[in-house]
Structure 1
Amino acid sequence: MPRFALKIEYQGTPFYGWQRQKTLPSVQQAIEDALLKIDPTNKGIAAAGRTDAGVHATGQVAHCDLARHWDSFRLAEALNYHLKPNPIAIVNAAPVADNFHARFWALERRYMYRLISRRAPLTFEAGRIWRVPHLLSRDAMQEGANYLLGKHDFTTFRSTLCQAPSPVRTLDELTVEEIPLADGTEFRFHVRARAFLHNQVRSFVGTLERVGGGSWAPIDVKTALETRRRDVCGPVAPSQGLYLREVCYETDPFAGHTAGESNEGTP
């Protein structure tokens, strides 16, 4: 059975996370239902990571086995047709090795968190960014973020429900970008690591927002990290600002498969 990798974009607001639920809508179920429309024998998909309820993705990767070979373009087109009207899109598809695994072969996961400082409520961006009504200091947040880089026991910054056997992770990047807007300021937190703990990125951002607003000093982040106590963490930032931006592999599974172009010529 040929195996395909899928690059997936979704707006997480209507879903209770990636993982299939018994009675609640999930991204995984929507895609698996679409797969069954084109391959009634399909056994489902496996993703590079499970996003929580309300979290978005621009570069989720999953793999699936199909009963027959498909042209990559036509596979994406067929799935996108059956995914309507869900806010989910297959932005690329590619055949991969039979032993390719979207999760276990991943070398790095890249997340972005969007936060906006502005007094007015959100309209067009509601559900896609966290709004705070007060000013924030990018420099202070970056100084606090720097204490989190490297290999640490991140017990302070993981959910008490986290099932990972170890709280030790290596954080490769936590960069705070400031984007001036006409009606406020957007901050984007760019985060890279091989793997993350449950709620780790949102715990980082919630804590750094306290630093940016002046409630915490940057050095307080280091102190909180070293206590290894969840109860000293800042608040967990809301899910609507978090995006799974990219999953990286030793070899890009989509190299040579340009989104929007058929391998068989004009459709």
Structure 2
Amino acid sequence: MIQSSDLRPTLARVGTLQRVGVIGVGEIGKAVVEGLRHDGDPTPEIHLSPRGASADLAERYEAVHLCTDNQQVVDRSDLVLIAVRGPDRHSLAGLHIPGDKIVVNVMAGISNDDLRSILDTVAPLVRAIPLPAVRERMSVTVVHPSDPVVNAMFDVLGGALPVADEAAFDVFSALTGTLTSHYAFLVTLAEWASSHGIAPDDADRYVRGLFENVGRSLGDETRTLPGLAADHETPNGSNERIRTTWFVPASAGLRESLDALLTDLRRP
């Protein structure tokens, strides 16, 4: 089996990325393709595995091509983004990936060592956590290890955040597990308002507007997160009351859930 110490350096391959392949075109794979095509530029050329949203994307965008199988994706690409579901990772066995390719591993909970043992390749492997907002080029993507070509691609999609090791990478991966809880929180607010006589459409519209404003304030990186929280709270006011009576007691449970998720992510 090929060892990680056999990795070839990537510095010689810095430059314009011409061909990207995506194996596993689910929500994240689709978002990456849409992000790369966000401004209408037909570069890089994109090659897709023949499942999921591939056919629709190939019809919608110039220079996006549907391949017959995963090996053809590899053969036609300089950088291959692997976004299959973790339980399906063994379907990748048998792919031939030459050492002059770059493999981007976006499978949650699948380490680079695990993926390398399946692929048996000397090609550089980079883990990444692209989020759906990369389709609008509005999401920072955590990467490990740092690779100039991969960083450049995610800089286009909203920014790359290289981290030092997989332990740090796993912490960021655990944070992504809170996304649907945020949406469920908004659902609860709207449902609570409806239970008190507010029309569901009105409750939905108001809650969306309330938190769209929060999103805009988060875009101001000159203000810290604690600073933003303090700026939106009046002493003895309504926000302080909900924070201290509901969120502060509940935050211990949130931390415990994140710790448990992190433990699972680090389990071999």
**Could you say which TM-score interval applies, normalised by the shorter chain?**
under 0.3
TM-score (norm 1): 0.23
Name whichever structure is richer in helix by fraction: 2
Name whichever structure is richer in strand by fraction: 1
Q: Which has the higher contact order (CA 8 A, sep 6+)?
A: 1
